[in-house]
Structure 1
Amino acid sequence: MHTVWKGAISFGLVHVPVKMFTATEDKDIRFRTIHKACGTPISQTRRCAHCNQDVEPEELSKGFEYERGKFVLFSEEEIDALKPDSARVIQILDFVDLSDIDPIYFVKPYYLAPDMAGGSAYGLLLEAIKQTDKIGIAKISIRSKSSLAAIRVVDNCLCLETMHFPDEIRSIANVPNLPESTSVNEKELQIAKLLIEQLSEPFAPDKYTDDYRAALLEAIEHKISGESLDIVAAPADKGSNVVDLMAALQASLDAVKIPADSGKATDKPVKTKSKTKAADKAKKGTAS
């Protein structure tokens, strides 16, 4: 794993040197823009429209547009001087219950590993968080982006989850067409609740797959092998605007009912596919 940040966690007078690693990987399939006439990838260049010339990286500066077409410029040194202490230290401000944090605040997870001789302090913080069942709330700066962070335990590792600041969360009041009050049919509600119960089971992340990415990888493999593709789009579902909600609920419930002498009717064997060369290539590309 590549280290993306190096510093320390601080809580009270305890100092825990850590290294940070990205906990997730992007497996999106990326396409290059190609000139169809010759098959050459199109390059993206930095060009100044005013000077009508390409611009080298050393000629660039960062600017903030305070009025349309007017910018104030900052050098990298000026921006670095404004960075808070959280650029080097993760200062835990409070400990809270995980249930107190709405998931809308969470952004991206990172793994934290002990650095240098910080193993004992790391183990102390990990065990203290685990046994108190609390979440540490801290501030951190990563790549010039300052954010809140939640520090929790995942298995035997400290995990840092970056969070939005409250003013970055848009108000629900701005969402159009929300009902002012809910008025539902009691019989429909009971069937809907029963349907939820029938569909409820422990979270098993391995059962969920990216079907679109799998289809793209399969199509790529066919193209590499020189095979022609016969791709037919699925017909659009022409649903009626008038829905018999009770009938739809009852039909849904009937489809997932558990027979008395068997397991869940919804249990299905998970089909697995062998890795293709394209899948291996995609995985290597995202890991680098």
Structure 2
Amino acid sequence: MAVRPYWRGYLKLSLVTCAVTLSPATTQGEKLRFHTLNRKTGYRIHTQYVDAVSGKAVDDDDQTKAYAKGEDDYVILEEEDLDAVQLESARTIDIDEFVESDTIEWVYYDSPYFVVPADEVGEEAFTVIREAMAEADVVGISRLVMGGRERAVMLQPWDNGIILWTLRFGDEVRDENEYWKSVKADKPDAKMLSMVEEIIADRTTTWSETMVKDPVQDRLLEIIKSKQSTKRKTKPQKADQAVGEPQSNVIDLMAALKKSLEGKPEAKKTPRR
């Protein structure tokens, strides 16, 4: 079921403009959420902001944002200071640049949103922009104010619509070379490489949503259901290996690969969607 749009505004490319809506492409609505209770009374516990020195609760009107420039030394930002940096990209996604679709590293991708025309009048302009990007195999780069802060966004043609990805800021993305430099670049043994390729081929199947199911949440739901009908405490299942028990010795890599191939599973059937 479609949810209410998160944002309404305009998609613009040069002189072509159309009204559009944004809706989150993902949801946490099915995720289990827990409340914290007072075990003695059974009542919910509420959190409060308290003064670090006096320990007293602080009213909403007395709470303000501040930047720490030193120990116990802050610069207070008032609402008018925050409003002063708001930009005009609050209501218009103005595409001013395009890049090849496969040139943005996945680590920059943040949150996805569905972009669709807001009315029939704008459908033709929306379709033209989408199809032109698809034909050129490019994605559009723009900026949009979301959550009180301007974000760089990427617009990607997808089926009959467009996916808008918010992009992480440059200072949020770490340099992978700092991590890869510790990995040896030597070529692997040709025989072992061939064996691993064979294992991969045997286990290659068709993507299915069942691959990303959450078994932990399913088990929690079972426990919650059982507690609704009985007061018995659910005993935790024993782990296969006791805590502190030493693990078996690491098997030689080549031996492990041979063992994997010996127990080669039958060809997987394409899972039902």
TM-score, structure 1 as length reference:
0.82
Whole-angstrom distance in 1 between the partners of 2:178 and 2:241:
32
- Partner of residue 231, structure 1: 236
- Give the conservation status (yes or no) of the 8 Å contact 1:62–1:73: yes
Task: For residue 177 of structure 1, report the CA deviation from its aligned partner.
Answer: 7.8
Q: Which amino acid aligns with 2:118?
A: D
Whole-angstrom distance in 1 between the partners of 2:270 and 2:164:
35
Structural mapping, 1:71-220, within 5 Å = 71-116=74-119, 117-175=121-179, 178-220=182-224
Whole-angstrom distance in 1 between the partners of 2:55 and 2:7:
39
CA spacing shift, 1:177–1:231, aligned 2, 3 Å: farther
- Give the conservation status (yes or no) of the 8 Å contact 1:91–1:139: yes
Whole-angstrom distance in 2 between the partners of 1:135 and 1:156:
15
Task: For residue 143 of structure 1, report the CA deviation from its aligned partner.
Answer: 0.2
Q: CA RMSD in A?
A: 2.5
- Partner of residue 24, structure 2: 22
Q: Which amino acid aligns with 2:236?
A: I
CA spacing shift, 1:153–1:122, aligned 2, 3 Å: same
Unaligned runs of 5+ in 2: none
Task: For residue 207 of structure 1, report the CA deviation from its aligned partner.
Answer: 4.0
Q: Which amino acid aligns with 1:35?
A: N
- Partner of residue 256, structure 2: 248
CA spacing shift, 1:58–1:153, aligned 2, 3 Å: same
Task: For residue 200 of structure 1, report the CA deviation from its aligned partner.
Answer: 1.9
Tell me which moved more, 235-244 or 128-137. Answer: 235-244
Task: For residue 96 of structure 1, report the CA deviation from its aligned partner.
Answer: 2.3
Structural mapping, 1:4-19, within 5 Å = 4-19=6-21
- Give the conservation status (yes or no) of the 8 Å contact 1:149–1:163: yes
Task: For residue 211 of structure 1, report the CA deviation from its aligned partner.
Answer: 0.7
Task: For residue 56 of structure 1, report the CA deviation from its aligned partner.
Answer: 2.0
CA spacing shift, 1:176–1:52, aligned 2, 3 Å: same
Task: For residue 58 of structure 1, report the CA deviation from its aligned partner.
Answer: 2.1
Unaligned runs of 5+ in 1: 259-263, 271-288
Aligned residues: 265
2:58 aligns with one of 33, 39, 55 = 55
Q: Which amino acid aligns with 1:216?
A: L
Whole-angstrom distance in 1 between the partners of 2:106 and 2:86:
27
Tell me which moved more, 239-248 or 18-27. Answer: 239-248
Whole-angstrom distance in 2 between the partners of 1:269 and 1:106:
28
- Give the conservation status (yes or no) of the 8 Å contact 2:205–2:270: no
TM-score, structure 2 as length reference:
0.86
Q: Which amino acid aligns with 1:210?
A: D
- Give the conservation status (yes or no) of the 8 Å contact 1:138–1:149: yes
Tell me which moved more, 212-221 or 131-140. Answer: 131-140
Tell me which moved more, 84-93 or 19-28. Answer: 84-93
- Partner of residue 43, structure 2: 40
- Partner of residue 281, structure 1: none
Whole-angstrom distance in 1 between the partners of 2:150 and 2:241:
44
After superposition, what is the alpha-carbon deviation per residue over 1:200-256, rounded to whole angstroms, capped at 9, x for unaligned?
Answer: 233222443111111111111111222632331322385434322112112223334
- Give the conservation status (yes or no) of the 8 Å contact 1:199–1:256: no
